Structures are given as C-alpha cells and as structure tokens.
Structure 1
Amino acid sequence: MSHLDSEPVGDPANLGFDKVRLTRLKHWMQRYTDTGRWPGGAVLVARHGELAFFECAGHADVEAKRPWQRDLIARIWSMTKPVTAVALLMLYEETRVHLDDPVEAYLPEFKDMQLLIPGATSLDQTVPVKTKPTIHHLLTHTSGLSLFTGPRLLGEAYAREALGLAKGYGGLDKMVRRIAELPLEWEPGTRWQYSVGSDVIGRIVEVVSGMTLDKYFVTRIFEPLGMTDTGFSVPESEMSRLPPQYEVTPAGIALNEAPEISAWRQGKVDTFCGGGGLVGTIDDYWRFAEMLRAGGELNGERILGPRTLRLAACNHLPGDLASLATEVWAETQFDGIGFGLLGSVVLDPAKAKISAQVGDYGWGGAAGTFFWVSPVDDMVVILFTQLLPSSAIPVRKELRALVHGALTGV
C-alpha cells in the first residue's frame, strides 16, 4: 500500500537507506543552485511505497527569487511518453489493439508509406517500404519515423512544421496526417531512432477509444490515480504555479519562452501530443510511477495487470541501443541500455557505466525531468527541474550515483 503523503514517512533507515548519505542529495541540489548551473528543482525518492526523501532547492523563478515548491506544475515533455504507452496498453489488455497490428489498420493515412533512399537530398526521393510499420514499432521507436531534433533531411522537415511539438497544430488528427504524408527515414524494424511514434500512438488511442487523448487520460488514468494537477494545459486559476522554463546559454542560464512553450500559458492547446504535451506536479508523477512499481495498481485502482506491466518493462530490442540506434539525440545513453514499451531499460550497468540494477526502467524530459522505477530495489526516483537541454548538466547519472550510494539495506 502506498502512502503518498505530503511529507516523508518514517525513518529512511527503515527503508534501507543510510540517512547521512541520503542528505548528500540536498547538498548536491544546493550546489547546482549556488553555482548558477540550474534554476532549481525537486528530488523524490520512495521505496516499498513509502517516501524516503523529498527536497526542493533553488528557484522556480530566478528573476523573482521565487523558491521552487513542491506543488509547482512543470513541463514534463517526453515523460508524457510512458503515460501514452500505458493508455495504449490498457486497450491492448481489452484486446482492442494488438502490438503487431499495422498502423494503417487504425490510421489509413499510413498505407503505402514511402522510404527515403540513402543519401536523399529531397523528400521526394523515395521507394516503397518493404515492412508495414506496426504499433510495436511505434512504441519502441523502430518505425522509421523521425523527430524535430533529427539532424538530417526528415528531422529538418519535422522541425519546420513543429511536428510533435506544436500545441496548437489544429488537432492531433491533423498533425498525424501530416506525419504520414512524409516518408520514413529507415525501414521499420531495422534501426532505433527517437521519434514522434508516441504522438501517433496517442492518435490510435483516440481512434480506438472514441475519446480525445486528453479526455482518455483524465477518465482512464488521471482520475483513478488522483493525478489532479496533470494535463495538457494549466487552468487560468493555477497559472502562477507554472514556472518559467530556462535554457543553458554561453552566458549562463536564461529564460526560454518560445511560442510552443508559451502555449501552455495562453491556454491554446488543441493538439494533445502524446510524445511530450503534459504538464504536472512531481507528486502526480509519483502516483503514476508508484502504480508502475506496484504492478499496475494504486490504492485499489488497477490500471494495468502485473503481467502486462512486466511485458512492457522488459527490453524489446535484439540488443542494447548502441547496436541499433542512429546517431541522433535521445533522452538516454546507448551502451548497456535497452528499450521497452515504457522507456529505457538497464541491461548492463557496467557497460552503461552507471549505478543501476538490471531491469531499472524509466525516461526523461527535455527540460531535465527524469524518473526511474527499479523492480529489484522496489524503488521510484523522480527529478523535476525546468532547464533545457536535459543534457546540459549530468544530473541523471549523478542522481543515480547518490541514490545508490545511500542505499545500503533491503
């Protein structure tokens, strides 16, 4: 049973942590604040369903000197993807979709997909694909789709039209139709490339369920789990809880308020991007991650069956990401790391050169948010901040080292 209280529960020593070592987390967070390398943030560590550590440090608004607080609503960007995957897996359990179904069975616009030829210099230099992209390809980022951060021809096309990024594209259906009009970059199943696959999955959820993705999330996931502050936009009455977003520049950290980002402030979200559209609190995301840790159930509300969750949390690639990935940015390192249906999966901590357990899984967001669930250690760890890009400072591997350095018991 999970407590999910607003304060730490009991003594961390009872949860297998060295209390003194765990306080290193607070000093580490404060050091990043004092040196001006991040605006601020929060870290949550829970084990066996109980909170072992929670601290905030630094500022939500650097200019106004407003401290980071626990109830802030942050942009979680790609930490939306595991939520979208869970939404699809709920339909899978109801046998309304199958993982090996071709995408075109639900979205006819994906019929007769074209593939860019090697070395193409324009988007019309294509040949027909040999393999139809499937739902499994979308979930595992092996569909051949690209992302707006991609450095090549297709990625540049996505960036020009803000595919997978724009909150006001005119509807998820419209955005996904445009994605289907563009060619694939790789033959489905042959390469791993971070992509807008989760946005297409979100559209499949809409088609199969008959609900828009925001309503599906609320009725099937958020309300049952008590995630009252998570959604695709922020109510006008709660806008003061949405902090500014920052980015790293040569002169230090600075405000980042591009039109796509300020859309949350303007309340003009009409395109529910399953790949990166959500905002929410750290406690809300703990409820989601705690459901995963507990085998698909939280406080009597079952979202997924435990066997489905085990299927989702294992590696679905033939090897690690390094053996299959393209040379493109993603929210993970590649050596010793696999990929499942919910995010990255640790296969070999030594090869990855990180403190981890085999089977740890999770994902991060572009503004530095990050989480992992450890089935072996029965643990959830979550980091929230608002600093682009997520690779600006090595907080993820450092957080792993600090947590595992403090974990001494069973």
Structure 2
Amino acid sequence: MACQPQTETKENNENLVIDQVAKNRIDSTLQSFVSEGMVVGASALIFEKGKEAYFNAYGYADREAKIPMDRNTIVTIFSMTKPLTGTALMSLWEEGAFQLEEPLSKYAPEFSDMQVATELLDSGKWKLEPTTRPISIADITRHSAGFSTRSDLGLDQANTAADLYNLNNTLKDMAQDLSQLPLGFQPGTRWEYGISVDVQAYLIEQLSGRPFDEYMQETVLDPLGMSETSFFVPEDRRQRMAALYFKTDSSINRIPDEQSHAFNYAEWPMKPGGWGLTSTLDDYMKFAQMLVNEGTYRDNTILQPETVKLMATNHLPAVEDSLWLPGKGRVGFGIDFAVRTEEPQNSEEMNGTVGEFFWDGAGSTLFWVDPKNELTAVLFVQIFPFNGTIHKQFRDAVYGPIKD
C-alpha cells in the first residue's frame, strides 16, 4: 500500500502544501544542511498556485569571501540545462521539423550504420554487431539511444580518449567523434544517462540552421525573461557567482575557481545541450512556472499544452534496467524529465506526487513541477559529489515526512 505524506492543519483552512508549518520545516531543513556541514550554502524558492510561497537562503555562496547565499546568487546548474535544451528541441517538433520516431540519421547522417559492442576482446578491439533498428530521435530524448560508458566493454575509456567534450570542439565535432564509437546496447533496450542531450543540441543546429545557443536564447530564454541564465558569465556578474565545493568525510573543500568556472568565464566553441548553464533561483523559476502553466509564462507561449504533457509522460516501459534512475523515486522518464509514476512506498523513498516531473544537477541542485498541487520548487546548493540525501530531506520538508 502506498505511503502518504504526513498532512498538517492548513492555515486559514486553505488546501495549500506550503503553509506556515511547512515553511518552518523547510527553514529548519535548509539551516541544518549548513549547520551539519552538508553544504556551504543553500537556497530555495517555491511557488504554489501562481504565487511565491517560500524563499530563504542560508550559509555562503562564497565561504572564503564571506559572501552570503542570496536570491540573486548565480549557480552552475549542470544537468538542469537538459530540460531547457529539450524545450528548445520540442519547439521545432511543434513546427513539424521532425517526428520523434524518425531515425536520427535522417538529419544527422553521422549516426547512420551504427554498431553495437557485444564483447571487449583481448586484443583491445570490440566484437560488434549491427543495430537491429536505427537510433530514433525519441531515443535521444529519453536516454535509450545506446550511447554508453560501460566499463565492462571498455567504453568508458574509449569515451575519455575521444575527448568528446573538448571545449574547443563544436557540437558537430562532438557528433562526428561520438558516431565513431560503438553503442553499448541496442537502441531502445535500456535507459543509460549520458550524452544524448548534447546530441539533441546538435540536432537543433541541423534542423534550425542556427547555432544551438542562439536558437535556445531566442526561443526559450529571451521569451521567458531569463536574462541571468547563460553559458558565459560576464565579469560584472562574477561577484555573484557561487563557489563550488567538494565534501569529504571530514571537511568541505573549495574547488579552485580556475577549475570550476573555467567553462563559464570564457567563450568556448563548445555549447553543450546537457550541461554548462548558470542561472539564478528566480530565472529558473520562470522556466518551472512556464511548465506548470502548460507552456505559457506571462502571455508568452513557449510550448503548447499537449507538448508539455508529452514531455511529462513516461516513455519507458520499465525502469528496472535503468542504472540509478529508480533511486530518484518511483519514476519513469519522459522527454528530458524524470516522471513520477507511483507514490512512495515507505519513508525511505524519495518523496513527491504522482505526475510530478523534475531533474537535478551534478552540483546537487534540484527542481520539480507538481501539476497536482500547482507547485514548482527550485533548490540551489553547490556541492560535490552529488548528494541525494539533500533532495530527500528537502522534499520531506516541503510535503511533510512520509509515514510508513
């Protein structure tokens, strides 16, 4: 039997998730992240039924400079770039530029005649077999294309040697190099998170005839007023940039800025679809509000309601063979979002509501869209390695602890 989040008495008898009890609970949780040494700084913004329901920030954006975490702090969102890329791609789908089940190679011929590695031979070469069907565009939207870093096949080392994310490469360079590597499994047979969204960015360039970053800027970021979301952070904004930290068992150490901000403090040819953007709480909330409003934000329509619904629908038959995806809750995967399909079954599982769709970033950032409650949440921290416990505790603070 499914477990239900603990319910609290709502203020003013309103049926709201974020009442005063929830606000106090979230405050306590964010503060504990800092006081217990899980992060250096944490901030969160929540909207419910079209109105701001919660904001607060604790700790530091830059501990060494004593700059507090704040509402206008700019953070590196890593894979929270992916849903923005998917939104740009689906704007082209709405225009009839492609069909989801069409072969990727129709528009990106590099990916014709792909082969699948079935064994790593003693010689260091692969035993290969042809694909049973072409990679579809749908495959690259749900991480089922077969692109893989399987260590048992040596594909992790092959990907590293190919230097796919060389910052001096273009997306076309990346696609060409990727197409020379074998797949790790047959298209459509397994969910494996990875480079697929960068291939989406390349596909956007092929379909639109425009650089990916320019197309996304004009079709998504500018219409939403996301003026602080970008790959390149100019000098006059860098004092608001959060530092990145790495947590060990005994300490939290700053990752040197020349390493953590190298991508964002220079203009590189590489403009990836799967990572690299920086943003603020309010900027990313505009994107989340567009999604909960079924494609429209402040009279600007980015996508049609049917398209948002398609993106937020589970396109995987099952997730048992899907690496770590089940660790994010009882979820499937849509188009660049995890999609919750069942309620949590016990208090140890990730909290949330059926129909919610979401994603997170390597620095432990998180956002979700909860259509049932008309709620959107954005959580910003900057800590490595990725910490799912932070997400679990934050979700429990928002919805109330799950009762076994």
Per the normalisation by structure 1, the TM-score is: 0.89
Between the aligned partners of 1:177 and 1:108, the Cα distance in structure 2 is: 10
Deviation at 1:355, TM superposition (A): 2.4
Between the aligned partners of 2:263 and 2:120, the Cα distance in structure 1 is: 38
Deviation at 1:12, TM superposition (A): 9.5
Q: Percent identity between the aligned chains?
A: 32
Amino acid at match of 2:360: G
Q: Which moved more, 1:235-244 or 1:270-279?
A: 235-244
1:8 paired residue number: none
Distance 1:335 1:363, change over 3 A: closer
Kindly indicate whether the alpha-carbon contact (under 8 Å) linking 1:346 and 1:359 is maintained by their aligned counterparts in 2. yes
Amino acid at match of 1:66: I
Between the aligned partners of 1:364 and 1:14, the Cα distance in structure 2 is: 30
Aligned ranges 1:7-406 → 2 under 5 Å? 16=16, 17-119=18-120, 122=124, 124-146=126-148, 153-163=154-164, 165-166=165-166, 168-257=167-256, 261-319=260-318, 321=319, 323-326=320-323, 329=324, 333=327, 336-351=330-345, 353-391=349-387, 394-405=389-400
Distance 1:15 1:159, change over 3 A: farther
Between the aligned partners of 2:393 and 2:152, the Cα distance in structure 1 is: 28
Q: Deviations over 1:326-382 (max 9, x none)?
A: 4xx56x626621111131111112348332211111000000110110111111011
Kindly indicate whether the alpha-carbon contact (under 8 Å) linking 1:316 and 1:338 is maintained by their aligned counterparts in 2. yes
Deviation at 1:151, TM superposition (A): 7.6
CA RMSD of aligned residues (A): 2.3
Kindly indicate whether the alpha-carbon contact (under 8 Å) linking 1:104 and 1:111 is maintained by their aligned counterparts in 2. yes
Distance 1:387 1:190, change over 3 A: same
Kindly indicate whether the alpha-carbon contact (under 8 Å) linking 2:198 and 2:272 is maintained by their aligned counterparts in 1. yes
Between the aligned partners of 1:252 and 1:172, the Cα distance in structure 2 is: 38
Distance 1:247 1:139, change over 3 A: same
Amino acid at match of 1:337: V
Between the aligned partners of 1:118 and 1:351, the Cα distance in structure 2 is: 38
Distance 1:133 1:63, change over 3 A: same
Distance 1:150 1:254, change over 3 A: farther
Between the aligned partners of 2:225 and 2:27, the Cα distance in structure 1 is: 28
Q: Deviations over 1:125-157 (max 9, x none)?
A: 32221221011000000111125x978621233
Kindly indicate whether the alpha-carbon contact (under 8 Å) linking 2:356 and 2:369 is maintained by their aligned counterparts in 1. yes
Amino acid at match of 2:30: M
Is the partner of 1:71 in helix, strand or coil? Answer: coil
Is the partner of 1:207 in helix, strand or coil? Answer: helix
> Unpaired runs of 5+ in structure 2?
1-10
Amino acid at match of 1:388: F
Kindly indicate whether the alpha-carbon contact (under 8 Å) linking 1:123 and 1:154 is maintained by their aligned counterparts in 2. no
Distance 1:143 1:238, change over 3 A: same
Deviation at 1:228, TM superposition (A): 0.1
Between the aligned partners of 1:347 and 1:108, the Cα distance in structure 2 is: 35
Deviation at 1:261, TM superposition (A): 3.1
Distance 1:345 1:213, change over 3 A: same
Is the partner of 1:238 in helix, strand or coil? Answer: helix
Per the normalisation by structure 2, the TM-score is: 0.90
1:6 paired residue number: none
Between the aligned partners of 2:121 and 2:363, the Cα distance in structure 1 is: 32
Distance 1:380 1:406, change over 3 A: farther
Q: Deviations over 1:224-271 (max 9, x none)?
A: 000000111111221212221111224321122486633235313221
1:4 paired residue number: none
Q: Which moved more, 1:184-193 or 1:263-272?
A: 263-272
Kindly indicate whether the alpha-carbon contact (under 8 Å) linking 2:120 and 2:127 is maintained by their aligned counterparts in 1. no
Amino acid at match of 2:58: A
Distance 1:12 1:251, change over 3 A: farther
Kindly indicate whether the alpha-carbon contact (under 8 Å) linking 2:82 and 2:273 is maintained by their aligned counterparts in 1. yes
Deviation at 1:20, TM superposition (A): 2.7
Amino acid at match of 1:237: D
Deviation at 1:161, TM superposition (A): 4.5
Kindly indicate whether the alpha-carbon contact (under 8 Å) linking 2:329 and 2:340 is maintained by their aligned counterparts in 1. no
Between the aligned partners of 1:104 and 1:192, the Cα distance in structure 2 is: 20
Q: Deviations over 1:14-45 (max 9, x none)?
A: 57133033222112111121122201121111
Between the aligned partners of 1:160 and 1:151, the Cα distance in structure 2 is: 16
Is the partner of 1:263 in helix, strand or coil? Answer: coil
Deviation at 1:213, TM superposition (A): 1.1
Q: Deviations over 1:284-308 (max 9, x none)?
A: 1100010000000000000000011
Q: Which moved more, 1:249-258 or 1:199-208?
A: 249-258
Between the aligned partners of 2:327 and 2:12, the Cα distance in structure 1 is: 30
